[in-house]
Amino acid sequence: MSTPLNKLQSMFHKPSVLELDLARGVIEIRPNSPLQAMQVLNATTMSALRDAVTEAIKDDHVKGLIVHAANNTLPVSMLDEIALEIERFGAHKPTVAWAETFGELVPSLAMYKLATAAKEIWLQPSGMLTIEGYESQILLLKGGFNKLGLEPEFGQRHEYKTAANTYAADEVTEPHREMMHSLVGDLLEDAVRTIAKRRGLDEGFVRQALDTSPVTPERALEAGLIDHIGYRDQVYSTALDAWGAKPDELRYVNRYNLKPDIAKALSGRKRKKIGVVPIRGPIVTGRGSAGLNGQTVGADHIDEQLRAAQRDDDIVAVILDVDSPGGSAVASDFVRRGVLQLRESGRKVVARMGGMAASGGYFVSMGADEIVALPSTLTGSIGVLGGKLVTQGLYEKLGLVRESVKSTEDGMLMSPAEPFSEDEWRRLNEWLDRVYEDFTSKAAEDRGIEYGQLESMARGRVWTGAQAVERGLVDYLGGRRVAQERAALLAEVDVDDVDIVPVGPGGLLGKLVPAASSEAVGGTGGTQPLGAESMLKAMLREMGLHVDGALSLPYRITIR
């Protein structure tokens, strides 16, 4: 029944066909750095996509969704979360995905998997399905280091914390190979199951299609892998005609949900909130930084947000939005303490894991009431590593002379100028044992798992989200929507009757305003000076190498 309020709200609703163009890019969240945020003002964020889908499902003026499944560099986990939103929309309204090609002899299984979330798939006549399995390459650097005169000296806990292999091994160890095969194999099995379920195909048939890739459009149509062969103009004309829509009704998803919520504004009722605390990037002590290669996240800044959530009586639950390879053991433990204190205040806490929540990323998550991860999330890596690259040989090769003047005989444990002495190596390993025992014992306590069982799953091993659920390291599979639903259920509120908000000041102006005290939240973290050391660290991070602390995933795992 139409009411005056509904009529007023409808003034802001126009007939629409939503578009999600992955060629234009999708970002997780807007950067903390105001300058970086301004560069992506028009980008579609995951929150904008999620909010648009939530609103469009209820909006009778929205007729359907067209997805351009364009090849890009988005990680598998992000494509999976986008697919969940496409499926959520498609449970109520028609969806179409189209692509010029799914790879040109370059694997594009992840993008095709996303396209299967739509009810119909179109493929250009000259395109193809290059949907062979996933690949992750292992790089060993010892030969290159030898040529440079660099000597790696690392300790690790334990055999699956394979940074030492990356730096110092001549060949891939069996635990390293086993872990990587397990990760890639599990991701492939998830893709096969998902594609088969969405397309109504037999899993064995899907595996056969992967083995015979690339697949021509004609073969793909005959096999039921796609629904139509055609170009963009044919996709749009067919969809718009079927839905009774016109080209001027097309709207990008990030341009759709810009109208005010009249019902909320006029209700006069103060709604409860679920706060979101992002933990993205390497975890460090202090404020963190936005610099040359993305950002690090500071434990002090995270703790400020957790304490701010405690002070806000309207916040009933908090979601930790974690996408981090880990970092400092001290920083990670500091954040975990803040999470436990937040729970003691009566707030419910759910950790939502993105593409990666490994090592320190798992440490900051494990104290939550519940953990939600995607099947393709890389998590676990409950272990520790530490050491250094000794540069003495490099200096000698370059003909440089360097002499260290020390105030104490053994006062330069981590100096790259010289190798560990026998006593220094002993002290390093004692510290590694201490950190590992602390990590594993707290993980067992937080997850309610007997220590021996937990330790057997730790040892530095990385698990997919699906594998982690099977082992009790994670509670539920899903994306942000599932995390919101779990947080609302734990807090005993309706997920559609709460506001999902960032904790602390919002907007560009809020990010620029400094905090008045340590009990306030304001501004971003620190800034990263563009010195030689920070530039070198940025370069090493870009190569996927360990530079950010004892609880780091030791290398970047890229699945393609």
CB burial of residue 535 (10 Å; 0-12, 13-18, 19+): middle
Distance (Å, whole) CA 169 – CA 154? 11
Residues whose CB is less than 8 angstroms from the CB of residue 169 and which lie 6 or more positions away in sequence, other chains included: 140, 142
Residue of 63, 93, 161, 388 marked active site: 161
Instruction: Specify whether 161 is catalytic.
Output: yes
Please pick, among 213, 324, 359, 552, the residue that the annotation labels catalytic. Answer: 359
The answer to whether the beta carbons of residues 435 and 359 sit under 8 Å apart is no
Give the pair of three-digit tokens for residue 466: 């699906």
Burial profile 9-29: b = 16 or more Cβ within 10 angstroms, e = fewer:
beeebebbbbbbebeeebebb
- Whether the upstream peptide bond of residue 94 has omega within 30° of 0, thus cis, is no
The tokens describing 372, both together, are 């939600």
Q: Which residue has the tokens 């434990």?
A: 299
**451 contacts 440 by C-beta, under 8 angstroms:** yes
- The Cα 348–Cα 370 span in angstroms is 9
Helix (H) / strand (E) containing 207: helix 203-211
Buried b (16+ CB within 10 A) or exposed e, 35-66: eebeeeeeebebbbbbbbbbbbeebeebbbbb
At a CB cut-off of 8 Å and minimum separation 6, what does 532 contact? none
Phi then psi dihedrals of residue 121, to 5 deg: -125, 130
- The CA-CA-CA angle for residues 546, 152, 440, to 5°, reads 50
Number of H helices, E strands in the chain: 23, 24
Any residues with CB less than 8 A from the CB of 430 and at least 6 apart, and which?
Answer: none
* Chain Cα centroid distance, residue 470: 20
Please provide the DSSP assignment of 496-528 as one string: GGSEEEESS--HHHHHHSPPSSTTS--S--EE-
What tokens were used for 58?
């209820």
Q: Rounded CA gap, 445 and 112, in Å?
A: 40
Q: Which of 440, 441, 408, 410 is nearest to 427 (CA)?
A: 410
**Which has the closest alpha carbon to 455: 154, 184, 159?**
159
Among 133, 129, 64, CA closest to 100: 129
DSSP state of 24: G
Active site residues per annotation: 161, 359
